[in-house]
Amino acid sequence: MSDAAAGNGSYNFAYLDEQTKRMIRRAILKAVAIPGYQVPFASREMPLPYGWGTGGIQVTASIIGQGDTLKVIDQGADDTTNAVSIRHFFERTAGVATTEQTAAASIIQTRHRIPEAPLHDNQIIVYQVPIPEPLRWIEPREAETRKMHALAEYGPMYVRLYEDIAQFGQVTTAYDYPVVVNGRYLMRPSPIPKFDNPKMDMNPALQLFGAGREKRIYAVPPYTSVKSLDFADHPFTVERWAQCCAICGADDSFLDEVITDDQGGCMFVCSDTDYCRSRQTAQAAE
Amino acid sequence: MYVAVKGGEKAIEAAHRLLAETRRGDPGVPELALAQIEGQLALAVDRVMAEGSVYDRELAALAIKQARGDLIEAIFLLRAYRTTLPRLAASEPIDTGKAHLRRRISATFKDVPGGQILGPTFDYTHRLLDFALAAESGAAMAAAPPTPADSGPMPRVSTLLGDQGLIEPNPTEPVEPGDLTRDPLAFPADRALRLQNLARGDEGFLLSLGYSTQRGYGRNHPFAGEIRIGDVEIEVVPPELGFPVVIGEITITECEMVNQFKGSATAPPQFTRGYGLVFGEGERKAMAMALVDRALRAEELGEEVTAPAQDQEFVLYHSDNVEASGFTQHLKLPHYVDFQAELNLIRRMRAEWTEPQAEAAE
């Protein structure tokens, strides 16, 4: 156990005991072997509340080693309260190095975003997942949805998308947009904006998904196809902004709208704080 | 301008300091000792032990103190502690028939062998605020009645019915119970696993569900066959010894509901059972648990599943207050990326909606 953790009493490296990590690693291996399939695992009660990323934290705790460098983001930013809290948790229990730079991290735990900078094959991205079941709003019963997955019975999801198009002329799902992994399993990408969906496809990094409260782990192995559901005459598209980032001028990143006054004034800035900062640094150097 | 998303680190630190100060309250008022919480808020301690799934009065009292009296937060603290503890051994099944009882009542018979014992109950108090308690002096306290001599083991009411074949027998096959904290819940869940889930479940949730069965949503005609509160010994069999050794004593509350059953093609008309058991004194929870346990047996007894309380997935997935509290409250975490995506979508949809209207007006 590291000295950093010793100060907190008798907790193991990265909080979880080794037996638990082993159980979670087995679930991860199974998840990698069956891309997009939700593997049930014996999720533990963590010292952070359910909904705060207990699944992602358990996955990270099970794969992290002393040589790893961890980056934690929430809404794309390293400095949002929950990202800070989770990063502190690992600094405290594992004493590992942390970073805010996407390129410098070996493990990136994220909530709601995929970094703008491309990931590499020596990186693992861990998603925090609130509801892992893509069919949940169509069928509330787990016993049923498992059957639907077994039979690849995904028609109802297409019907739902079709109904959106028939009613609104477009699919009205803006985030957590359903994907098919490796041509087989329907998967929820976690509540990332659909803007990020194309980044999952054939990504060199290993993508792991942890849902603590729902006790499921799933994975997209490196270089695996991830296809957002669409129709031939209504292809999948991502949103674009009329504005650029007010700070770094990026026109290719996901922008957050920051309200600046009560007169309707607002500005648009990169949601990915590291991307924005590295662009500013590059511009300053020029 | 950009501070909206910056400064999380300092803000968290300041919030923690503020919390510590608020928790302590007025420093002119003496600080609560754990012994005071244990002794004088004993039912709060019992609830935290029951739903926190750890029988440890002192830790529960500490959790209540740390949580500023928020019992669900205290339960969460205790659970997060419990999860790291090694599982050293599983105890032998407790025999509540041998419990040393301080309360035992049956609503189905006027008198039962062993007698009815009211014990320290709120049941027949008039709920008038006792202003004498506000004076914080022990002077007004009447002397407690002498503790009756331990009447020894008392037969269970359900055993009396069972001797006449009027109630379904309890399962006699010893089943190795699952462990919800070590295996994810899968459906259909057997009764042992369901009871485990209910024992950890939120009292308020079970109370409302149990109540709903009484109001017709999965009615099962219950009678409180017996409610007992008492102390039982916990035994384990260390493998190197091979015989049971008593490692301690715990207080439990047990409720056996006796429910009507019309019979089916395979079973004669007889009474059926609903069972509730909780750590400490928790009569309301034990009774609600027994009602919900019986409701969840609907399928097994060939009854139609129509009500929420009879639906395994509905009940078992939503009973845990640590899960429910976390997921409900996670809505206060930032969601502005998803909200931005929704904003973009709704603006586009509004524009498309307005265009044809504007064209029509021209």
Measured in degrees and rounded to the nearest 5, phi and psi for residue B306 equal -125, -25
- Judged by a CB distance cut-off of 8 A, whether residue B236 touches chain A is no
Report the pLDDT value the prediction gives residue A11, as an integer from 0 to 100. 83
Average pLDDT, chain A: 93
Per-residue model confidence as pLDDT tens digits over A68-83:
999 999 999 998 889 9
Report the pLDDT value the prediction gives residue B1, as an integer from 0 to 100. 37
Of B12, B76, B83, which has the smallest distance from its Cβ to A85's Cβ?
Answer: B12
Report the pLDDT value the prediction gives residue A93, as an integer from 0 to 100. 94
Residues 6+ positions from B263 with CB-CB distance below 8 Å: B269, B270
Of B2, B76, B345, which has the smallest distance from its Cβ to A269's Cβ?
Answer: B2
- Judged by a CB distance cut-off of 8 A, whether residue A72 touches chain B is no
Residue numbers in chain B where pLDDT is lower than 50: 1-5
Of B12, B82, B342, which has the smallest distance from its Cβ to A84's Cβ?
Answer: B12
- ipTM computed for the complex: 0.83
Tell me which chain B residues have a C-beta less than 8 angstroms from the C-beta of A136: none
Report the pLDDT value the prediction gives residue A240, as an integer from 0 to 100. 87
Report the pLDDT value the prediction gives residue B6, as an integer from 0 to 100. 57
Report the pLDDT value the prediction gives residue A195, as an integer from 0 to 100. 96
Per-residue model confidence as pLDDT tens digits over A128-186:
999 999 999 999 999 999 999 999 999 999 999 999 999 988 899 999 999 999 999 99
| Weakest mean pLDDT among A103-117, A210-224, B155-169 | B155-169
Number of residues written out for chain B: 362
- Interchain pair A269, B80: CB under 8 A: no
Q: Give the gap in angstroms from C-alpha B360 to the nearest C-alpha of chain A.
A: 19
Q: Considering only alpha carbons, which residue of chain B is nearest residue A175?
A: B338
> What average pLDDT does the segment A255-259 reach?
91
The two structure tokens encoding residue A279: 């662009």
- Judged by a CB distance cut-off of 8 A, whether residue B299 touches chain A is no
Q: Over pLDDT 90: what percentage of chain A?
A: 88
Report the pLDDT value the prediction gives residue A55, as an integer from 0 to 100. 97
Say if residue A2's pLDDT is above 70.
Answer: no
Identity of residue B268: P
Per-residue model confidence as pLDDT tens digits over B56-75:
999 999 999 999 999 999 99
Residues 6+ positions from A281 with CB-CB distance below 8 Å: none
Of A42, A84, A260, which has the smallest distance from its Cβ to B184's Cβ?
Answer: A42
Report the pLDDT value the prediction gives residue B140, as an integer from 0 to 100. 52
Name the CA radius of gyration of chain B, rounded: 26
Report the pLDDT value the prediction gives residue A7, as an integer from 0 to 100. 45
- Interchain pair B322, A45: CB under 8 A: yes
CB B294 within 8 A of CB B272: yes
- Interchain pair B333, A74: CB under 8 A: yes
- Cα separation of A150 and A154, whole Å? 10
- Cα separation of B201 and B310, whole Å? 16
* DSSP for residue B117: B
Q: Considering only alpha carbons, which residue of chain A is nearest residue B14?
A: A81
Report the pLDDT value the prediction gives residue B273, as an integer from 0 to 100. 93
- Interchain pair A51, B329: CB under 8 A: yes
CA nearest to B94, candidates B287, B280, B277, B293: B277
Tell me which chain A residues have a C-beta less than 8 angstroms from the C-beta of B80: 45-47
- Cα separation of A8 and B9, whole Å? 20
* DSSP for residue B92: P
Q: How many CA atoms lie within 13 A of B194 on its CB side?
A: 25
Q: Give the gap in angstroms from C-alpha A195 to the nearest C-alpha of chain B.
A: 8
Q: Give the gap in angstroms from C-alpha B338 to the nearest C-alpha of chain A.
A: 6
Q: Give the gap in angstroms from C-alpha A213 to the nearest C-alpha of chain B.
A: 6
CA nearest to B303, candidates B238, B221, B201, B189: B221
Identify whether B268 is preceded by a cis peptide bond (ω within 30 of 0). Answer: no
Task: Provide DSSP, chain A.
Answer: --HHHHTTSSPBTTBS-HHHHHHHHHHHHHHHHSTT--EE--PPPPSS-TTSSHHHHHHHHHH--TT-EEEEEETTBSSSHHHHHHHHHHHHHT--EE-S-GGG-SEEEEES---SSPP-TT-EEEEE-S---TTTTT---HHHHHHHHHTT--HHHHHHHHHHHHHHSS----BS--EEETTTEEE---S-BGGGHHHHTT-SSEEEEEETTTTEEEEE-TT--EEE--BTTB-------SS--TTT--SSS-EEEEE-STTS-EEEEES-HHHHHHHHHHHHH-
